[in-house]
Structure 1
Amino acid sequence: MQKYHGSCLCQSVKYCVTGKFEQFYLCHCQYCQKDTGSAHAANLFSSSARLEWLEGKDKVTQFHLPASRHARAFCQQCGSALPFENHDLSLLVVPAGSLDQPVDIKPTAHLFTQSQAGWEQNLAATERFKTFPHLK
């Protein structure tokens, strides 16, 4: 059985997911853009994996946007996105960036592309740096 370990930025919360991820979605909806402050959310989904909090479960807060299916969990201390169980959909949702190791699944699909940020177009042509560039 595959095990994945993850944590928040400040390392106050640590968790383990045991099982397989069935889907890996990049969601471009406006809710996910607001949640992440970025172009999209990158979430892994599983209908059978098990989530275990190893440290800091008491520091995890969940937010459910009223009148929607949108929800998120995060560390109260640093604000990092964390896994949560969506009971309405019977799914475990794991923010891919919260994992401390690579996953073997590649993104399955882009969702809500009608909301995609305009500045996200043609990013392959954007200059790339291995580290933070020197400011001029």
Structure 2
Amino acid sequence: MNKHQGSCLCGAVKFEVQGAFDSFYLCHCQHCQKDSGSAHAANLFSQSARLFWHSGADAVTSFTLTGTRHHKSFCKHCGSAVPNTQIAGLLVVPAGSLDTDLDIRPTAHIFSSSRAHWDNPNIKTPVFDRLPR
């Protein structure tokens, strides 16, 4: 059985996901850009995996954008994105919240028509292992 451990940045929230992920989407919609503060969100989806909170379930809070299906659960202490089950029958896990390695690679880029204008994969930029001096 697939098992993945995860946590938030401050360590208050710890969880385990048991089961397989069906898909791994990099979403470029404007909602995901806003709530991630980045070019895209990276979320894993499963209709069969189970979520277990090991600690900090009481620190998890949620936000749903009115009039949409856009939902985000996060630690109320540090703001880190954590898994949610707000869509019936679907577990959504932010890939960056996992502490264990994944055996699945991104399935697809979605909502690419909303891609941030500065997020161009064809532009060659320098790569550093650490913060440059």
Do both proteins adopt the same fold according to a TM-score greater than 0.5, normalized to the shorter chain? yes
**AA partner of residue 115 (structure 2):** Q
Asked if residue 126 in structure 1 is aligned to residue 125 in structure 2, the reply is: yes
Percent of counterpart pairs with the same letter? 57
**AA partner of residue 28 (structure 2):** H
Cα deviations by residue, 1:5-40 (Å, 9 ceiling, x for unpaired): 000000010000000001000000000000000000
SS in structure 1 opposite 2:34? Answer: helix
Identify if the C-alpha distance between structure 1 residues 84 and 120 changes in structure 2 by more than 3 Å, giving closer, same or farther.
Answer: same
Gaps of 5+ in 2: none
Q: Which runs of 4+ in 1 moved over 6 A?
A: none
SS in structure 1 opposite 2:32? Answer: helix
CA RMSD of aligned residues (A): 1.0
**AA partner of residue 57 (structure 1):** A
- Return the TM-score normalized by structure 2: 0.97
- How many residues matched? 133
Deviation at residue 78 of structure 1 after TM alignment: 0.4
- Return the TM-score normalized by structure 1: 0.95
Give the distance between the partners of 1:100 and 1:75, measured in 2 at CA.
16
Asked if residue 117 in structure 1 is aligned to residue 121 in structure 2, the reply is: no
Partner of 2:41: 41
Gaps of 5+ in 1: none
Give the distance between the partners of 2:87 and 2:33, measured in 1 at CA.
23
Give the distance between the partners of 2:15 and 2:122, measured in 1 at CA.
33
